[in-house]
Amino acid sequence: MKVVGRFAPTPSGRMHMGNLFAALLAWLSVRSQGGTMILRMEDLDSQRTSSLNADRIRRDLEWLGLDWDVETTPQSLRTERYLEQLSVLEEKGLLYPCFCTRSRLHSLTAPHASEGVFVYDGHCLALSEEEKKAMGRPPSWRVQVPCEEISFTDGVQGLYVEHLKTQCGDFVVRRADGAFVYQLAVVVDDGDAGVTEVVRGRDLLNSTPRQMYLQRLFGYETPAYYHVPMLMSSDGRRLSKRDRDMDLEELSETLSAQAIVGRLAQWAGLNPAGESVTPQELVKSFSWKQVDKEDVYIRDG
Ligand code: GLU
Ligand code: ZN
């Protein structure tokens, strides 16, 4: 089977060591298997993303030597296709409107769940047609999940299991303002492009069962997953866009592309001495076995 991988950056700013870490590994995995690399801009959020940022990301990837074979249509131009797939969910009788307020949803947060994680209780499934009409505001749209455990073996993190009903609940696929959510868009985009492997940060590990469920409903094959470690700052926080010293804006002033790739590869366990290197030079010896699942703590300097 032909390997197809992808970069799926959100063009909300400059590339950052955290995204690049996943991008380098995605690229190495595809290139080491002679596969096809896709680039796709995940610009669903029109407030936070821009085509200027997308241009910058393309240039940054090229500068680092992370090339791609095709760029597929950005998410902002795929609304028709997402609508088509939404109607598949509707035809299956799995789609329903949710009028819950934010504060009601917050009250559902499970005591041990991490911040912002709650299990939707299906409240709006029981609304009558009259009650829906009386709401007087546009709803978001949820897909019903089965009472079922979804499990898969991640190429880095190992076995992952989630019970959709009790650990996630019916989830939103389209927001009240009409925007499609990442969970739906990513499944449709990867599925339509024939993606066979998904390499991304571990922060998306718990999205995967929802995505696998949608893949099944839409009739897509499930790709192989590799959820790579997060880069952590020395004070124990996950690196984010707030760590300006870790984005290319700053780093490219003082470091060469090869020095940056050398550092990323060192953190991935592929370049112990951390010397400068091109992505191409890493292809031959690349193996997922070398990549550890533990998060990477980055020393300053
Ligand atoms: N667009 C997401 C990001 O920039 C990646 C989504 C994915 O790889 O599935 O973090
Ligand atoms: Zn609701």
CA 156 to centroid of ligand 1, rounded, Å: 17
CA 298 to centroid of ligand 2, rounded, Å: 42
CA 133 to centroid of ligand 2, rounded, Å: 14
In angstroms, how far is the first alpha carbon of the chain from the final one?
43
User: Pairing mode, if any, of strands 36-39 and 4-7?
Assistant: parallel
pLDDT of residue 114: 58
Query: In this model, does residue 115 exceed pLDDT 80?
Result: no
The model's pLDDT over 25-47, given as tens digits with 9 standing for 90+, comes to 999 999 999 999 999 999 999 99
The model's pLDDT over 187-206, given as tens digits with 9 standing for 90+, comes to 999 999 999 999 999 999 99
The model's pLDDT over 274-293, given as tens digits with 9 standing for 90+, comes to 999 999 999 999 999 999 99
CB atoms within 10 A of CB 127: 17
- Whether 20 is in the pocket of ligand 1, judged by its Cβ within 6 Å, is no
Can you tell me the distance from the alpha carbon of 278 to that of 257, in angstroms, rounded to the nearest whole number? 8
CA 191 to centroid of ligand 2, rounded, Å: 29
Please choose, from the candidates 1, 69, 63, the residue with its C-alpha nearest in 3D space to the C-alpha of residue 31.
69
**If you average pLDDT over residues 203-225, what whole number do you get?**
98
- Whether 9 is in the pocket of ligand 1, judged by its Cβ within 6 Å, is yes
pLDDT of residue 300: 58
Closest atom of ligand 1 to CA, residue 6: 8
Closest ligand to Cα 96: 2
109 against 225, higher pLDDT: 225
Query: In this model, does residue 110 exceed pLDDT 80?
Result: no
**Residue of 38, 75, 182 best suited for mutating to test ligand 1, as the one with most atoms within 8 Å of CB:** 182
